[in-house]
Structure 1
Amino acid sequence: MDLVVPALAHLDAYADALRRGWSADNIRLEAAAREELERIAADPQAFVASLDDREAKGGPITLPDGSKVARLPGFRRWMWDGAFCGSIGLRWQPGTGALPSYVLGHIGYAVVPWKRRRGYATRALALMLEEARREGLPYVELTTDPDNQPSQKVILSNGGILVERFRSPTCGKEELRFRISLV
């Protein structure tokens, strides 16, 4: 399994995963998948281009409470083993390792259900950590639900250290925050 830059050549496989009920958004799930399918249908090329936004040109983000905040630079990569396996993304705040309070982590990932338990998330995270180093980040933070043992295993396998247990400011549920040093 490798990470590939999202491209039109792989877009049908990505859209198929969305139609099968998978979502790269672990919080908004079906709603996010539906929105992405609509964006793909409207302009496939613009959708693919939007997944690599290192200059944060995509405009503001609307938070669950309706307020708008500045978009952070970031990009996604697709997990690929000859077929679509999942997605992993990196976002950061220029000039610092810290994130704004409304951003729970630097890296988020999701593997399609039919490709889980193959070590793909562990490998994808290891590869994305190299990308984060190239961006100059001193560390990355990742969050997960306390009951998501597979995700915790992925993070721990990549050097993650539990930093805190906290209540998510966006949804109010309990989360775990891990940090992985990149220096």
Structure 2
Amino acid sequence: MYPENMVSAGPYTLRRAVEADADAVARACDDPETAQFLPVMPSPYTREDALNWINGISRETWEGGGADYAIIEPDTGEFLGAAGLKAPDRFGNSEVGYWVAPWARGRGVATVATRALAELAFTQGVPRVSLLADVENIASQRVAYAAGFRREGVLRGASGRRDRSRADVVCFARLASDPGDAIRPYLPFLPGGELTDGVVRLTPLTLADAGDYNATVSLPDIYARRVPPEPPRYAESEERCRYARHRWLAGFAAEMAIRDAVTGEYAGDIQLANVVPPLEQAMIGYGLRPEFRGRGLVTRAVDLLADWAFTHTRLRRLIAGTAPDNAGSQRVLERAGFVQEVLVKGLLPGPDGTRVDDIQWSRTR
């Protein structure tokens, strides 16, 4: 069904892997980052494993109607990675997959190969090409967006991990009728990976923050102001931190740790959530550990986040809400340039079935 040799993929070419590729394949696949999200790949990975892929697994893919390509730098013949298409299912749909050698990362290799394979599949009559990525595999999700694949949802527990646990998987797809243009994330990642003014640092939440995050949001005076007003289970906090970069890339929320810029200590959290692209609006929320209060860290964090949002996203309006008796949070918002707009009666759930009024604030571009 698919041509075996010299498929053009922008500056690279795709061809069927041969035994001469075995050493490069083994070296690439023995890299922990390559193997991390490919649990069926042997680890450690040897030259014999590479030959088994070339002469066995890959051969079966070709004979079954799919394709397994080596990605090659045409001028030098250097092996850069691999990309392939599964055989069409009973509805004619296919799935694309890829991995890139450590020495070729950061060059757009996977994006170019994925786009080329999707277009090749469409020329063969395939109506839909899907792409699946572990929820923690942010690099692969960025490839999907850049290759014009739309995010469709999360498949819970759809894949395995090397530790025998189950992994949630993000499903992307591109239809033959889709334009295929690169999809730009509504919330880009932070320039340089963080925001700082020299006193406070904002860094994306990660799984390593789960303990500090859970301890902070479990404080009674913090969870009482959240929705719902109850302490989270640790598993919920862990999942929130594990999913944080995925939700960021998907445009749902930008969730960050507030840190002391000098010591790096975790001081609290701040997030841009409830993102509404048609309104170009999002909501800011935050919480701070008691030992860091009174130093103006939250005001600085809100300023940093607002400046980033108005400079690097299409957002034009940021909102926040406070309970009428939350004078501390109101002072933070006033100092950060927010203005009070309206009091909404009984908007928020309170303890024991009560309702709490909400003072709403805004800061505009």
By the TM > 0.5 criterion, same fold? yes
Deviation, 1:14, is: 1.9
Encode CA deviations 1:132-183: one digit per residue, 9 max, x unaligned: 1243210111111233332222111221111111213342322210011123
Partner in structure 2 of residue 146 of structure 1:
135
Query: Is residue 2:25 matched to residue 1:14?
Result: yes
Q: Secondary structure at the match of 1:31?
A: coil
**Count of residues paired in the alignment:** 156
Letter in 1 for 2:83: I
Query: Is residue 2:167 matched to residue 1:173?
Result: yes
Query: Is residue 2:38 matched to residue 1:55?
Result: no
Q: Hey, what's the Cα distance between the residues in 2 that align with 1:133 and 1:153?
A: 22
Partner in structure 1 of residue 84 of structure 2:
89
> Are the structure 2 counterparts of residues 39 and 140 from structure 1 closer, same or farther at C-alpha, using a change threshold of 3 Å?
same
Q: Hey, what's the Cα distance between the residues in 2 that align with 1:21 and 1:159?
A: 28
Unaligned 5+ runs, structure 2: 1-11, 161-165, 178-365
8 A contact 1:111–1:121 mirrored in 2: yes
Unaligned 5+ runs, structure 1: 57-72, 100-105
Partner in structure 1 of residue 146 of structure 2:
157
Deviates more, 1:2-11 or 1:123-132: 2-11
> Are the structure 2 counterparts of residues 150 and 22 from structure 1 closer, same or farther at C-alpha, using a change threshold of 3 Å?
closer
8 A contact 2:93–2:127 mirrored in 1: no
Q: Hey, what's the Cα distance between the residues in 2 that align with 1:120 and 1:5?
A: 17
> Are the structure 2 counterparts of residues 134 and 29 from structure 1 closer, same or farther at C-alpha, using a change threshold of 3 Å?
same
8 A contact 2:22–2:47 mirrored in 1: no
Q: Hey, what's the Cα distance between the residues in 2 that align with 1:113 and 1:39?
A: 18
Q: Hey, what's the Cα distance between the residues in 2 that align with 1:150 and 1:22?
A: 11
Describe how 1:74-153 pairs up with structure 2 within 5 A.
74-81=66-73, 82-98=77-93, 106-153=95-142
Question: Cα RMSD (Å) of the superposition?
Answer: 2.8
Encode CA deviations 1:64-112: one digit per residue, 9 max, x unaligned: xxxxxxxxx422111111311111111033552357xxxxxx1111111
Deviation, 1:24, is: 7.0
Deviation, 1:26, is: 3.2
Letter in 2 for 1:16: R
> Are the structure 2 counterparts of residues 173 and 75 from structure 1 closer, same or farther at C-alpha, using a change threshold of 3 Å?
same
Letter in 2 for 1:4: R
Letter in 2 for 1:97: G
8 A contact 1:24–1:87 mirrored in 2: no
Partner in structure 2 of residue 31 of structure 1:
42
Deviation, 1:22, is: 6.5
Point out the structure with the larger strand share: 2
Letter in 1 for 2:99: A
> Are the structure 2 counterparts of residues 167 and 37 from structure 1 closer, same or farther at C-alpha, using a change threshold of 3 Å?
farther
> Are the structure 2 counterparts of residues 24 and 2 from structure 1 closer, same or farther at C-alpha, using a change threshold of 3 Å?
farther
8 A contact 1:24–1:86 mirrored in 2: no
8 A contact 1:22–1:33 mirrored in 2: no
Q: Secondary structure at the match of 1:177?
A: strand
